[in-house]
Amino acid sequence: MKVLLFGGAGYIGTHVALEFIERNDTVGIFDNLSSGLKSNVHPEALFYEGDIRDKARVLEVLSLGWDVVIHLAAYKAAGESMIKPIKYSENNITGSLNLITGCIKTGVKHFILSSSAAVYGEPAYLPVDENHPKNPTNYYGYTKLCIEENLKWYAQLKDFEYVSLRYFNAAGYDERGRMLGLENNPANLIPVVMEVAMGIRPNLLVFGNDYDTADGTGVRDYVHVTD
C-alpha cells in the first residue's frame, strides 16, 4: 500500500511508520517538525515538510496518490489546551478538516485517526469501552471528538471509510533501538519523569493525594507505543 502519515515524524508517528516499512509498504511522512524530528524519519520513507493548516500544501501532497491517510498531527497537551484553545482549534480542528476534505477531493478513501481516550472524560464505569458516554473534560479531548464527529458525517455522505483509535497514554520506545532522537518539549508523564531523573527538569509536580485508590495517588493506563 501507499500510506501517508500526517505527523509521521512525531513520537507515535515514527513508530507507526516503522511497522508499515517492515511490511514493505510505501510510506510518506508529512510533518512540520514542531515536535517531531527529521532524524527519526526512516530513510526509506518519503518526507514532505508542511503544516496541516496549509490547505494548498496538504492538497499538493495528497494528490500524489495514496491508499490510506493516518492522521497523527495534533497538539496533545490537555492542560495547554485549556489555556490556548485557539492554538488547538486552528490546528486540531481546522487542520484536520483540511486533511479530511483533501482526502475527499483527491480520492483517498481510507482514513485512520489517532484519537484519544480523552474523548470519554471522567469514567462513568470501568473498564471504559467504546460505548462509554463521550464527555471530554478538557479542550484537547473536545477537539478529538469534534474530528471524530466530522469523520462520521463524511463517511455517511461520501465514499469514505475511517477508524478512530482512542488509545490511552502511549509510553516506551522502539525496543530494537531504531529511534535515537527524543521528542521536543514532551508533555507526557514518562518522558517528564525521565527528564527530571537526568537533571534536565528541576522537579516533578504531583497533583493530589486523595484519589480513590489504595494509596491515594493517581493511576493511569498505558499502552506501549509499538503496540
The C-alpha torsion from 130 through 133 and 138 to 144, rounded to 10°, is 40
Grid coordinates representing 146 are 469534534
User: Considering 88, 140, 154, 173, which one is annotated as catalytic?
Assistant: 140
Q: Does residue 140 have an active-site annotation? A: yes
Rounded Cα–Cα distance for residues 157 and 134 (Å): 23
153 backbone dihedrals φ, ψ, rounded to 5°: -70, -45
Rounded Cα–Cα distance for residues 111 and 39 (Å): 26
* Sequential DSSP letters for 157-216: HSS-EEEEE---EEE---TT----PPPSS--SHHHHHHHHHTTSSS------S--SSSSS
Beta bridge partners of 153: none
Residues catalogued as catalytic = 140
